[in-house]
Amino acid sequence: MLKINFEFRKGIFFIRFIGDMNKDNYLKQEHEIKKIITENKFRYIVLNTNYLNKIDLDGLNCILEICYLTQNAKSNVVICDKTNIINKLVDSSIPNIKDEIEVL
């Protein structure tokens, strides 16, 4: 099961993924995330993957699509990934931090 927590604080939009992110459960929420990002035109977005238990290739692609969407919307996106796995898979093309506090 995947839960997604949204928070807007100090001009930064935080998206926290919690649980298992796979093809079966992220599709329902992917559209909502994209709609929120395009309608609100946030300048700064943090994708927090620290609370993910599992992620499959489709889940990783979802995160990459969100990153490209934010870049096309002229937003700055940062991935919060304490394990650095996602950063290694995307060849360090997206800024990475280990904890949300680093972005504030």
Domains of the chain, first to last: 2-103 (3.30.750.24)
Per residue in 48-77, pLDDT tens? 999 999 888 888 888 888 888 888 888 899
How high is the pLDDT of residue 9? Answer: 92
Give the residue-averaged pLDDT of 65-93. 82
> What does the alpha-carbon distance between residue 26 and residue 1 come to, in Å, rounded to a whole number?
9
Global pTM value:
0.88
Given a cut of 70, is residue 92 above it in pLDDT?
A: no
Give the residue-averaged pLDDT of 6-21. 93
* Among candidate residues 93, 85, 82, the one with its CA nearest the CA of residue 55: 85
> What does the alpha-carbon distance between residue 33 and residue 29 come to, in Å, rounded to a whole number?
6
> What does the alpha-carbon distance between residue 19 and residue 41 come to, in Å, rounded to a whole number?
27
Per residue in 16-51, pLDDT tens? 999 998 888 877 788 888 889 888 989 999 999 999
For 37-100, the three-class secondary structure string (H helix, E strand, C coil) is: HHHHCCCEEEEEEEEEEEECHHHHHHHHHHHHHHHHCCCEEEEECCCCHHHHHCCCCCCEECCH
